[in-house]
Amino acid sequence: MIEILPIFTNSPLRNFSYLVYSNRTGEAYCIDPFDAKSLLGFAQKLGVKIKGILNTHEHGDHTQGNLELKEETKAIIYGHKDAKHKIPGMDQILKEGDIVFSVEEESLAVWDTPGHTFSHLSFVRKNPKTILGIFSGDTLFNVGVGNCFRGGDPNVLYDTIRSRYETLPDSCLLYPGHDYWENNLKFAEHIDPENKFREEFQTSLQPFQVSEMSIEKKLNPFFRRNTSSVKNRLAELEEKISDDRSIFLTLRKLRDNW
C-alpha cells in the first residue's frame, strides 16, 4: 500500500511537504518540496529513494526545494503543462488522469484543479473502490479554500470546488499545502456563527490534524455556504447574494479582506 508522511516545514507560510512512498518497493515521491535537506533526512530514515518530485503548482513556496532535491536524488520533476517555464527544473508534464505512482491496488492519480492558479494539479490517492486521500496544494485547506490573487480566478475555483472536491467521499483524507487551521477556524466563527459542530470540534482539535472530508463538509464555510447560519451572517453584513456562485465569491472576497 501507499504510505504518507506529512512534513510541516516551520516556514512563515506554514507549508506542508509530503513524502508518498512504499515500504515494499522502496520508492518515494515528494509533493511540493520546501526544504530538500529535511526531505532527504526523512527519506533516509524511512529507507526509501525519492524517484519523483510532484509540484501542485508554480508558486515558489511549493517549489523551492526542487533543484537541490533533484541534484541529490536525480529525481524527475513533474508539473502542469502551463507551468513548464515557471517550475524550477521541471522535466515532465502531468495531465488529468495520469497515474504517477502505483503499488499493488493503490495509485496516485492527477486531477487538473485550476482556480488558485491556472496551472494547479491535485494528486488523488485511490484504490479500485474509492478515493482514499487528496493532496490539494492551495486549492482546498482545512476550513478554507485558496486565494486567487496570484494568478487565479475565484469563479474558476468555485467550479473546481463544486465539480471535484465536493464529490469526494466523506472518508477521503485531506492533505493541504499549508496548515491554516487556526486562522480559518477564526474566519469560520466570524462567518458561520451558529455552527455547533465547530464549537465541539475545536475542543478536540490536535496540532496538524488530518481531517476527513466529512469533517470539512461540517466545518468549512465554503462547503456550508447554503446553510442558514452563513446566509444569515451575510445578510447581517449587507452582502448581496443571489445564487450559489455569488455566495462562494462573496465568502472568498470577505476572507481576502478579513
Residue carrying the nine cell digits 475555483 = 157
Q: Looking at this protein, which amino acid is placed at residue 127? A: N
| Phi, psi for residue 213 in degrees, rounded to 5 | -65, -30
- Order the strands of the 49-54 sheet from edge to edge: 3-8, 16-21, 27-31, 49-54, 76-80, 92-94
> Rounded distance, CA 247 to CA 157, Å?
13
What count of Cα atoms within 13 Å lies in the side-chain half-sphere of residue 83?
30
> Rounded distance, CA 230 to CA 241, Å?
11
> Rounded distance, CA 69 to CA 249, Å?
38
pLDDT in tens, the chain (258 residues): 999 999 999 999 999 999 999 999 999 999 999 999 999 999 999 999 999 999 999 999 999 999 999 999 999 999 999 999 999 999 999 999 999 999 999 999 999 999 999 999 999 999 999 999 999 999 999 999 999 999 999 999 999 999 999 999 999 999 999 999 999 999 999 999 999 999 999 999 999 999 999 999 999 999 999 999 999 999 999 998 999 999 999 999 999 998
pLDDT given for residue 19 in this prediction: 98
pLDDT given for residue 116 in this prediction: 98
pLDDT given for residue 258 in this prediction: 87
pTM: 0.97
Q: Which CATH number is 3-186 given?
A: 3.60.15.10
